[in-house]
Amino acid sequence: MRTAPNTALRAARNARLMSQDDLARALREAGCLSATKRLVQRWEAGHTVSPRPVHARALEKVMGLPIETLGFGAVMAGRSLSAADDGGREVESPIGEVSSDQHTSASGARPRPPGNYAGVWLSRYEYYSSGRDATFTAAHYVIILQHDDRLTIRSLPGSSPSSLEMDLTVDGHIATGVWSERTAPQGYYRGARYHGSIQVLVELTGNRMAGKWVGFGKNFEINTGPWELVMQEPSTSKAAVDAYDHPVPLED
């Protein structure tokens, strides 16, 4: 089926005397790091009817117009359903990326028996803090216990001031479920509890899972960001768990 060109976006760009390269550059400067000339071309050719939420917000910021007047659809998943200025946030990061062939583990460990995910893992996700206007990484060592296709995931108490819980169901190489975190009582969020959904793709080595989380923010906007789990130790013995029950080292 032939798609109709997005003449509204093209007209808005031309009215600002911007080339497709200029628009892509302005979007990157607005925080949309994945914007390219090729992406702009696809939008204007009509190949994309509803851009990703992070792209939509950057377009609105650069063009100074609502996304609906730029030739795209109305409210999309991941955007705020209210009129608040602080709409939903999508954090972009290499954390949630899956290798193209799904064979390379971030930890460099050897492949594990298919479907066996029990052990100690490093959990990392990124989120945007509207109160601090910055993106942060949260890291925990977690223990994964497996019962058939169900994964019960709990953070080790010494690995982070906050506590994390996840319950996933594995279907082939896809794990889907829910997450919950109780923030540090003395931290910025003062012991608040956050929760949401998560879906990750299990790499073929069985040593890494990568995907995205979804959850509500303080103003009930829908936020999303990358999440990964990397296997550290295949054992769940007390000695193995104790060896990782300490704060996650900071990256250089």
Q: Which residue has the higher pLDDT, 113 or 159?
A: 159
What would the pLDDT profile of 168-211 be if each residue is shown by its tens digit? 999 988 999 999 999 998 888 888 888 999 999 998 889 999 99
Contact between 51 and 43 under an 8 Å Cβ cutoff? The reply is yes
3-state secondary structure of 176: strand
Q: What is the largest CA-CA distance in the chain?
A: 66
- The alpha carbon of 239 is separated from its chain's Cα centroid by a whole number of angstroms, namely 32
The percentage of the chain sitting over the pLDDT mark of 90, rounded to a whole number, equals: 46
The pLDDT of residue 100 is 46
pLDDT for 238 beyond 90: yes
Predicted confidence band of residue 140 (pLDDT cuts 50, 70, 90): very high
Amino acid letter, 20: Q
CA–CA distance, 246 with 177 (Å, rounded to integer): 26
CA of 217: how far to CAs of 71, 88, 210, in Å? 28, 8, 22
Determine which of 46-50, 124-128, 203-207 has the lowest per-residue pLDDT on average.
Answer: 46-50
**Quick check: 119 pLDDT over 80?**
yes
Tell me how far the alpha carbon of residue 9 is from its chain's centroid: 27
Q: For residue 149, what are the contacts with CB-CB under 8 A and spacing of at least 6?
A: 169, 170, 171
More confident residue, 204 or 147: 147
Provide the pLDDT for residue 75: 36
Q: Is the pLDDT of residue 74 over 60?
A: no
AA identity, residue 138:
A
What percent of the chain is predicted at pLDDT more than 70? 80
**Six-digit token string for 205:** 């080595």
CA nearest to 120, candidates 15, 198, 17, 237? 237
pLDDT for 86 beyond 50: no
Calculate mean pLDDT across residues 85-92. Answer: 52
For the chain, how many helices (H) and strands (E)?
Answer: 5, 8
Report field, pTM of the whole predicted structure over 0.75: no
Average pLDDT of the chain to the nearest whole number? 82
